[in-house]
Amino acid sequence: MEARDFAVDWADNGQDGLHLGQTEEYDAIILDLGLPDVPGLDILQRWRSQGIDHPVLILTSRAAWTEKVEGLNAGADDYVSKPFEAEEIAARLHALIRRRSGRADPVLRRRSIELRPAEGVVIADGKVIDLTAQERRILHYMMQRPGRIVSEAEIADHVYDMESARQSNGIQVYVGRLRRKLGRDVIRTYRGMGYRFE
């Protein structure tokens, strides 16, 4: 998933997974049902009873239709049985994230900029623009929220995983690079508040 421009946190047991879902804001979660300590279905039911509404994709070796129904009825947004292809999981995650933001079109279009998340392609004024994975993640996050001011902390929470070293001015540096590549007036700074994709 990291190779497909997702910032990824992961837990290898149910207790840690439950805690991460309760304390972090995720665009989507992949949940295995067969976790040690706390079963995945219990985790999902606890999240939902606590009002935690992250989109959840169950990914498991349990393929019986009754188990799929049980998972979906417990609050899962999607269910995939093993074996699977990574491309399918990435496509399903993109679809979950799109639905959560209220969009159906897989391509983000704003002004003269087009972002194709599934392909990792950015086009501005008809030309393909070479962006790093982190620049694409930041652009994607901001393009999903046009006209809304987003703080540096909010952007960082969505584009860095927990293992990444965060520089104090990292988001400022990336926004500067995006302006140089896409145009100075694409992203506006609001001092003390954050940035807005115009």
Between CA 94 and CA 28 the distance in angstroms is: 9
Between CA 109 and CA 92 the distance in angstroms is: 20
Between CA 77 and CA 55 the distance in angstroms is: 6
Cis-peptide into 39, omega within 30 deg: no
pLDDT in tens, the chain (198 residues): 888 888 899 999 999 999 999 998 899 999 998 888 999 999 999 999 999 999 999 998 887 888 888 988 999 999 999 889 999 999 999 999 888 877 777 888 888 899 998 888 999 999 999 999 899 999 999 988 888 899 998 898 888 877 766 676 889 999 999 999 998 889 999 998 999 998
18 and 51 co-located in one domain: yes
22 and 59 co-located in one domain: yes
Q: Are 177 and 169 in contact (CB under 8 A)?
A: no
37 and 95 co-located in one domain: yes
> Residue 178 sits in which domain range?
108-197
Q: Identify the domain boundary among 39, 68, 100.
A: 100
Q: Are 114 and 102 in contact (CB under 8 A)?
A: no
86 and 121 co-located in one domain: no
6 and 94 co-located in one domain: yes
User: For position 30, what pLDDT does the model report?
Assistant: 95
64 and 135 co-located in one domain: no
User: For position 66, what pLDDT does the model report?
Assistant: 87
The answer, as to whether pTM is greater than 0.75, is no
10 and 84 co-located in one domain: yes
158 and 180 co-located in one domain: yes
136 and 96 co-located in one domain: no
Q: Are 31 and 56 in contact (CB under 8 A)?
A: yes
94 and 112 co-located in one domain: no
User: For position 168, what pLDDT does the model report?
Assistant: 67
User: For position 110, what pLDDT does the model report?
Assistant: 84
94 and 119 co-located in one domain: no
